[in-house]
Chains A and B, each alone.
Chain A
């Protein structure tokens, strides 16, 4: 029996409505159970798990390196952020140093991921609320970024490009030209979206004052990312607990005090601008040097040295057939993914496979605030509230 709401005695005329899992504006397979008084939502429940694939169990039967492709498939709109979180957690466990060039490229690509993910959010959020054309524009620009990903990693979406100890391979010559072209063109596009939405009276009527959350509520409910900053909490892990050299970049963390759908919209738009600044800095200051850590027992040797050095060949054989043995211990590594705090809790028992790898998924936590946001509001606002917390069901269900 799927989850449902029981009718309250004396309130039998209220309708219990099941919204989803097959519903275009639930952004995947989210099911909501709503109790309605006319068009007003009185109570709400969410039902998830339709995409549960047991990633956390699968991690335990794969070596650390084999775990990376699984992370792509969790938050499928920002695969590189997931790759980064996973790799950083394992690297923290191993305590190895990543060369600056690899860190810079990681930053550049994860910021492009953020823009790309926010574009999908903006397009789908707008189409949910009736602004059709924004989606088409957003997906046009998103395609440019996906082309860059394809150029670098060979894949548009399931990139698996970051590896434990660095990157999979050196990006091809001329890839920065593509990035530069995008960086030049994108501010104009952002203006296009803003012209369509920011002062649009219909947009304002649908978003201002809807889905209110105060700062205290947002903290108590464990919200993170733009949803938290839209409630006026200045918290961004890139600034507060910098990882992967984020402390060497100059950017601002936008916050808005209002805590409604519109505030979160403004925060995300500004975040795209700031991400663009980071991309530009990373592109201009990209250091020369290697892209893999100096840890031969962890990082695969390059092809050339395998043919000339017996040690490299042995290491290659050991890593591929067996994997590497991290020290016994546990770490928690959080990064600021486009959706909020993405944390990997990694426990090692000294074997080449993780004893436990738990993912703190931002969408899973953010979704908890949804019933709070929609109770007492109209059905039409439910759609706005689902859009504004920007969930990816692949990550909610894992």
Chain B
């Protein structure tokens, strides 16, 4: 997998396009992770999707991490894929534990719909602008969000 941190095309172009939107970037086992400013997420994704040399048209997956008790508590993780360049990219957005909220990617990638509902269901992160943000795996009246680290594995008794 190609991606030496400095020579990576996506990162370079993103820094040219909107330098303030990139918080930081790091590489592990040849995989690139870019931290994005939360309010720039939609613009960054549109850019990555439409820029001719990048073409990250395929949203593979959305999930989240709970870094409890650290702040900002949540990281929402996006995996993008470029079918043309055969390249993967991981974007991350941080969100606080008080009222966690991230912009919804549904306008950019329709497939974000169910992924965001899953993250909402299991982590309790709100996605602003999502057309149908309801629990997807758990029943509507479920208490709590199981994948949070302060939720016991055996559930509330």
Contact = CB atoms under 8 A, between A and B. Distances in A.
Contacts of B60: 222, 334, 341, 343, 360
A57 B113 contact: no
Given A1-B140, A52-B137, A219-B57, A331 B111 contact: no
A48 B136 CA distance: 7
A241 interface: yes
Nearest to A328: B28
Nearest to A327: B28
Contacts of B58: 219, 222
Contacts of A92: 29
Interface string B66-95: 100000000001010001001010100000
Nearest to B83: A235
B137 A397 contact: yes
Interface stretch (A181-189, A251-259, A292-300, A361-369): A361-369
Interface residues of A, number: 41
Contact of A3 (B113, B134, B153): B134
A368 B79 contact: no
B153 A221 contact: no
B120 to A, nearest CB: 13
B13 to A, nearest CB: 21
B137 A57 contact: no
Contacts of B33: 330
Given A222-B58, A329-B28, A360-B61, A57 B79 contact: no
Contacts of A332: 31, 61, 79, 88, 90
Contact of A57 (B31, B135, B147): B147
A345 to B, nearest CB: 6
A58 B153 contact: yes
A364 B61 CA distance: 10
Nearest to B86: A240
A222 B109 contact: yes
Contacts of B137: 48-49, 52, 397-398
A329 B32 CA distance: 12
Interface in B1-60: 1, 28-29, 31, 33, 57-60
A384 interface: no
A57 B29 CA distance: 25
A345 B60 CA distance: 11
B110 interface: yes
A270 interface: no
B63 to A, nearest CB: 4
B133 interface: no
Contacts of A341: 60
B131 interface: no
Contact of B63 (A220, A241, A358, A397): A358
A144 interface: no
A129 B141 CA distance: 37
Contacts of B77: 345, 358
B128 interface: no
A167 interface: no
Interface string A228-271: 00000101000011000000000000000000000000000000
Interface in B86-142: 86, 88, 90, 109-111, 113-115, 118, 122, 134-140
A368 B113 contact: yes
Interface in A194-231: 219-222
A356 interface: yes
Contacts of A347: 65
A92 B88 CA distance: 15
Interface in A356-392: 356, 358, 360, 364-365, 367-368
Contact of B83 (A3, A233, A355, A360): A233
A351 to B, nearest CB: 13
Contacts of B146: 54, 57
A345 B29 contact: no
Contacts of A368: 110-111, 113-114
Interface in A281-328: none
21 contacts: A48-B136, A49-B137, A49-B139, A56-B122, A93-B29, A221-B110, A222-B59, A240-B86, A331-B31, A332-B31, A332-B79, A332-B88, A334-B88, A345-B77, A356-B66, A360-B63, A360-B79, A364-B114, A365-B111, A365-B114, A397-B137
Interface of B: 1, 28-29, 31, 33, 57-61, 63, 65-66, 77, 79, 83, 86, 88, 90, 109-111, 113-115, 118, 122, 134-140, 146-147, 151, 153
